[in-house]
Each structure stands twice: as structure tokens, then as C-alpha cells.
Amino acid sequence: MKIVVIGGTGFIGARLVSILRNKGHEVLATSPAWGVDTITGEGLDAALAGAQVVVDVANAPTFDDASVAFFETSGTHLLAAEARAGVRHHVALSIVGTDRVPDSAYLRAKEVQEKLIRKSGIPYSILRSTQFFEFIGRIAQSAVDGNSVRVSAALFQPILSADVVATLADITVGQPLNGTVEVGGPEKFPMAELVRRVLRATGDQREVIADAHARYFGAELTDQSLVAGPGARIGAKRFGDWLKERTSP
């Protein structure tokens, strides 16, 4: 089976490529640096020739309004090229809560990406993941407020990215779901608590303020916004174990 991974050099894509190759599949990892660009369309037809499955794990360069245009243009070009190539399964990694947080440009962008997939007519599977443990540092950076860090107090359910990659690999080699599945971590925490624990673990003593009105990439959150629903797949790794392993000498 020939599988093309769009964004195959990224944080998720590179590990997905290696798992799929280890399973014996022919995998083409692509990126703009390697001549395949979903925004310009460059290299898409050649890359997709003879492909049965395409996995889209490309990402926008920013999380602001420009991300909406990125996912709209990228998805439009990619799905059109897949239709021309006769691709039989389109797989995409999205985010839990894309349809619940309209004030976040990035989550709106992911919803645009999902809608294009659903109306494309190409058999598909969408995996919605919660936030990666490795992303919590970036949440902290985005929440800096003077000398402190002001973070939402809402619950979230982060997951080890490797658990997401493993789930994505299973879905990629399976039959198209023509639907959406969710994957999340094994525990839920107030976001501010984990930001504090990640900062402390790296020696950062800045005050972390839990604020119900603090915005998460532009949006206020509730305890339901970013939490997976019933029936979600659950990653194995616990946050505390990950943090201990990451910070032990």
C-alpha cells in the first residue's frame, strides 16, 4: 500500500512515517522543503501518483486568523489532487473541540479543514486529539502576562503525542471510518495546574494565575471545551509519569 504523509517531516508526521515503514508499507514523506506544497499545489500530483492513502498532518505556521486561510487553501488543493489521483482513504489529524470553540481562530481553521474533508466525497477518517503533553510549554508561552502567566482554569485532557501517533497509524492502515473518532489522555486537569507543574519542572518560578476568563489562543474555555467525549480512545501514558521521565537526570 502506498501511503503519502503530507507534513511528513513534522513533530507528528516524522514518527508516523517511521511506524508505517516499520509495518512494511511504502511511505512517501512530503514537505515544502522536499518539493510538495499544499498551498501552492507544487508537487502534489507527482507525489500522489499511485497512492491509496493520504495522511494530512501538515500544520499552519501561526495560530491566528491566517491559519483559517492556510487550512482552507491547503485542504482544497490536497483534496482536489487526491480526487485526480483516485486516492481511496484520506486521514487527517484534528483537535477535540474544533466545533465548540469558535472564538479560537486555530480551532475554527481545523473545523474548516474537517468540513472540506466531509464534503470531498473521498472516503476519510478524522482523528481528533486533545492537546499533546509536549504542547503545554507553548500554552504557557502564549499566556505570559507581565511577570506572571495567566491561564484558563478549565479542564483539559492532554495526551502523550506518541500515543496519538500510534492511534493515527492504526487508523491509517484500517478501513475508512467515514467519520470522526477522538483520542485523549487518561486524566483531566485544570489547565493552569499543568502549566504550573511544567514550569516548575523546568525551574521556572513565575506565578501561574488560574483565571476563568484567561483566553486560550483567543477563546475563553469551559470544562467541556477541550475534553474528549464518551467513546474516545484513551492514551496509556499518565502526565505525572511523563513529566518525571522528562525531568529526571
Ligand X SMILES: NC(=O)c1ccc[n+]([C@@H]2O[C@H](COP(=O)([O-])OP(=O)(O)OC[C@H]3O[C@@H](n4cnc5c(N)ncnc54)[C@H](OP(=O)(O)O)[C@@H]3O)[C@@H](O)[C@H]2O)c1
CA distances from 226 to 2, 51, 97, 223, 229 (A): 34, 34, 5, 7, 9
Site string for ligand X, 197-236 (x = CB under 6 A): ----------------------------------------
Asked if 7 is part of the footprint of ligand X (rule: CB under 6 A), the reply reads yes
3-state secondary structure (DSSP) of residue 219: strand
Let me know how long the chain is.
Answer: 249
Among 28, 58, 126, 195, binds ligand X (CB under 6 A): 58
Paired sense of beta strands 148-151 and 144-145, if any? antiparallel
Among 23, 52, 135, 177, binds ligand X (CB under 6 A): 135
Among 131, 167, 172, 180, binds ligand X (CB under 6 A): 131
Q: What is the DSSP string of 64-131?
A: STHHHHHHHHHHHHHHHHHHHHT-SEEEEEEETTTTT-TT-HHHHHHHHHHHHHHTS-S-EEEEEE--
Asked if 9 is part of the footprint of ligand X (rule: CB under 6 A), the reply reads yes
Asked if 79 is part of the footprint of ligand X (rule: CB under 6 A), the reply reads no
Asked if 190 is part of the footprint of ligand X (rule: CB under 6 A), the reply reads no
Q: Determine the size of the site formed for ligand X (CB under 6 A).
A: 23
User: CA 51, 56, 57 angle in degrees (round to 5)?
Assistant: 135
Which one, 22 or 34, has the nearer CB to ligand X?
34
Asked if 13 is part of the footprint of ligand X (rule: CB under 6 A), the reply reads yes
- Can you tell me the distance from the alpha carbon of 231 to that of 228, in angstroms, rounded to the nearest whole number? 8
Asked if 185 is part of the footprint of ligand X (rule: CB under 6 A), the reply reads no
Least distance in Å: CB of 2 to ligand X?
18
Among 39, 49, 173, 209, binds ligand X (CB under 6 A): 39
- Give the other-Cβ count within 10 Å of 131's Cβ: 23
Least distance in Å: CB of 41 to ligand X?
9
Among 1, 10, 64, 197, binds ligand X (CB under 6 A): 10
3-state secondary structure (DSSP) of residue 174: coil
HSE on the CB side for 190, CA within 13 Å? Answer: 13
Which one, 59 or 120, has the nearer CB to ligand X?
59
Do 224 and 70 form a contact (C-beta atoms < 8 A)? no
Among 1, 2, 11, 193, binds ligand X (CB under 6 A): 11
Q: Which residues from 89-128 bind ligand X, rule CB under 6 A?
A: 93, 95, 110
- Give the other-Cβ count within 10 Å of 231's Cβ: 7
Asked if 137 is part of the footprint of ligand X (rule: CB under 6 A), the reply reads no
Which one, 27 or 93, has the nearer CB to ligand X?
93
